[in-house]
């Protein structure tokens, strides 16, 4: 299992996404938190709306550190039609919180460390399976397309599919 790392040329680390293998960020300490970094990228509008609807924005703007597996707008678009709209309804807030907190791990877990793990405990206390295939990190069936986007309160790993927590 030899990890494959590249440099992110972009200062924020989010403007130029790669659909390829893991990418490691090599840059000065970040000044923006996880939420502001994601919003500035422009590819996480659905995630930002979901975090707002779930009341989790302040949490992810907090001290942390957090590791966030951030699905892009394209990842959310893979869900069955009407799923996102349904999750954003006030009556589905608890289900939305469960899904979103399944994308967050306490601590700052960089790709190099994640690639050595078989599982991780999400904030919702459910387990995410980790596996390396062909040099790429997978969380359950979701591929990390860009890794180690460093933020002031943690790190973002960009994923290509929304993680759905296992049933109780």
Domains of the chain: 34-159 (2.30.180.10)
At 55 the pLDDT is 95
Q: What is the mean pLDDT of each run of 10 residues along the chain (168 residues)?
A: 25 30 45 92 93 95 95 96 94 96 96 94 96 95 95 96 89
At 31 the pLDDT is 83
pTM over 0.75: yes
At 167 the pLDDT is 80
Identify the H or E element spanning 133. Answer: strand 127-133
* Distance separating alpha carbons of residues 65 and 148, to the nearest angstrom: 13
């Amino acid at each position: 299992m030899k990890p494959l790392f590249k440099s992110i040329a972009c200062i924020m680390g989010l403007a130029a996404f790669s659909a390829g293998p893991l990418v490691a960020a090599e840059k000065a300490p970040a000044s923006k938190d996880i939420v502001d970094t994601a919003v500035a990228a422009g590819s996480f509008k659905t995630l930002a709306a979901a975090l707002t609807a779930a009341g989790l924005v302040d949490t992810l703007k907090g001290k942390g550190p957090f590791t966030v597996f951030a699905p892009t707008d394209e990842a959310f678009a893979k869900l069955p039609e009407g799923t996102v709209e349904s999750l954003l309804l006030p009556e589905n807030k608890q289900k939305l919180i469960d899904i979103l907190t399944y994308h967050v791990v306490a601590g700052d877990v960089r790709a190099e460390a994640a690639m050595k793990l078989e599982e991780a405990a999400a904030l919702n206390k459910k387990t995410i399976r980790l596996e390396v295939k062909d040099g790429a990190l997978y969380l359950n069936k979701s591929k990390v397309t860009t890794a180690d986007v460093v933020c002031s309160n943690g790190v973002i790993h960009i994923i290509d599919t929304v993680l759905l927590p296992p049933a109780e």
